[in-house]
Structure 1
Amino acid sequence: MQKLLLADQSLRLKPLYGPFHRDMLNLSWLLESVRSSLKSGYFMVQKLQDLGFLPVLEGKPYGELPEDFELISFYQATENFLIHAFGMYERHRIPLYSDRPLWINLESINFNIREFFKKLIDFEVTGYMVVENRVKLIKGIVLLQKGFVLYVDYAGLKGLDALKTLIEDLSKDTCILRVYELSEELLSLMILEPELAGVYEEYQAVPLRALNSTLLLVSVSAEKYGYKVLMQEEEVYSEGFEKDSPFYELYVVSFGNTNLEPIDVLSIIEEKNKLKVVKYDPDHPILYFCPACWSVVSKDDKVCPNCAYDLTEFHELPYEYKLIMALEHPVKDMKKNVIYTVGRKDLEMALPHLEIMINRETDPIILMEIADALSRMSSPEAVRLLRELAKHRYPVVRSRANMHLHKRLRDASE
């Protein structure tokens, strides 16, 4: 059953990496790229007519890859899809997903942590923030209502202790922040930490009428989550819900603790605290980075002093592999240069990564650079991604993508 499900999903999805032949692949690069970027998904390995699958949650493979495979691919997938497909229920968490990323220009506040949280309050952000610590390789969640912090889950801690640890890590480790808007209806339920009542493989099998309570029903696919809220058997809210998903999670909501007080973030952040982001200095343009955690290293370092990644191995990788890893670069000017190079080299293997960046990236400057790169690429997939950018919610990104699409049409008609 598991193999059939994953094989079917793999036909519908596009691999982020691969397929690679075993003799043409640096396997340690592939594993490190998944590990250091905290990706969740699964490896598919092929030998003759046999398929094998290995789950990866937040960069950590759960098991060992066989040594005698012929082809290998890596597919990104939602965490709860993996948990159900592979029976990993000890890792289950309430799914948070949104199609509404929010951009906050960190350069405008000089990467000041206190100013960042004040911006969230100024913008009255209701939703959540994902924090990826690329040094400690851990991921955390912060729930926000009108910009105020209501809930923190980080480094195995919750609440105030989790927030204090998070603030400390933001100022000393290389971290990536992503902010997503979420509806008030969903946020109010997520804060209450509803209890999982069951997991079902068919929508018709979900006992919606058997439980006389407020229910949260989540459709779980490899690509995304959808939500439906029912009160007294009546649907009161729906967002992105799908009736043909492989899994459905049913939660019972208890309203026992509804008076959650916001955590006073500003009182525990010192004014000098800065996000650890290295800024490009045109007077000193040569900086050396660890490709795993993106800490600054010396050009003579053999091992990253921050995360112990083998830098000598990285130097031996093919140039194309290095470009793929550098799409995660923390310095915006450097990332722009990498995207430009990908476009100039017409690097088709980078297209799945650019697609993920289109769906995840919130900086319009980076998105416009991606549009420029896609316009230089010959693959039909590049045109499809340009069409996706032509529907982006940022007008300036839509305009740039449409300009390139119209130019292609003119060139094709001449």
Structure 2
Amino acid sequence: MDLPSPLPKSPVMLAAYRARAAAGELGPLPRSAKDDALEAIADALIVRTQEIVAANAEDVARGEEAGTSPAIIDRLTLTRERIAAIAADVRHVATLPDPVGEVLRGSTLPNGLDLRQVRVPLGVVGIIYEARPNVTVDAAALCLKSGNAVLLRGSSSAYSSNTALVTVLRDAVGGAGLPADAVQLVPGEGRESVTELMRARGMVDVLIPRGGASLIRTVVEGSTVPVIETGTGNCHVYVDAAADIDMAVEILVNSKAQRPSVCNAAETLLVHRDIAESFLPRALDALADAGVTVHGDARIAAVAEACGSKATVVPVTAEDWETEYLSYDIAAGVVDSLDEAVAHIRLWSSGHTEAIVTGSQPAARRFSQQVDAAAVMVNASTRFTDGGQFGFGAEIGISTQKLHARGPMGLPELTSTKYVVTGDGHIR
């Protein structure tokens, strides 16, 4: 479309300007138009997989050459299988209900006015994220389905991957008859482009940071655009005195080692003293088999020595209790009671996901009520805190704040509301 003059001079602000124009076109579109665009995206990802994998290989090679940690390389890597899974997620989003236009509440007032509160798109959503190129597609799909334009600012470590992905996305969106500017990569690789996006109040409606604590803190503290905070995942597994040991071992290993580089992986194990001597020998060996190093307190170390565990146990520090390792490491301690476990979690938790393994309903209830987190798992792995696992489709992030959205953010969390009031010549 032709944009009126004068246009913003900055490339970042120009991208935001175009996104705002695209958002105006997206908002009124019927579900069918958005779903057709999502199907086109999924098809294009499959057809152009080799192009995406080749671009991703450039990022991976640079990362390995720079000594990037294996956990980050894992997040960065795109394979044919992962791209196929991403495409499947996009198709799943197309099957989900369209939140736009949903009536949340409504009534006819005593004066005859018809009042309706309806869901509407947020408008222009900016995503600032680190080395996870799958976020590029997830964010675009969810934003399109919810009627929002998206500005994507990934890290320089994934620049080649994100450039290739956004090219594929824009071609598919434009080919489906939607404005291609509904999906844009924020121009520039330097920090100045991030700063400018954070200051684009009035052009960008909301920012969502996804990444480590430093990135999130920078965006929250430096942005003039409203921010939905997606926090880090210092997640705990508490094994209660009434836990089934077989179940507890399986949940612990899955929570920690199934994919340690993600935010819903467990970082701390707490064990009730009454079950420690029977549970820990098996748990420590299982963690050792999974390649996990245990940062244990004195009681953990004593049990490990007494049973001749093959686990690697090093002394735990205060820093360990607050660390999101994103690696094959876990902090571990023995507690004297459920109350002590809850107190420990409330002190060190990032408010993401906390789990209890117990056969006691009263213990499960107390834990669920007293632990302050976006998600509480009872006899289930922390790895289930995920938009796809919750049935929301690909998530745009896991919010650890308490305003507007908390937990995995699906389509409804990418909308606001407005009131539509219909009268018949009413005056006040």
> For the superposition of Structure 1 and Structure 2, which TM-score range results when normalised by the shorter chain?
under 0.3
The normalised TM-score by structure 2 is 0.24
User: Counting strand residues as a fraction of each chain, which structure ranks higher?
Assistant: 1
The normalised TM-score by structure 1 is 0.25
User: Counting helix residues as a fraction of each chain, which structure ranks higher?
Assistant: 2
Larger Rg: 2
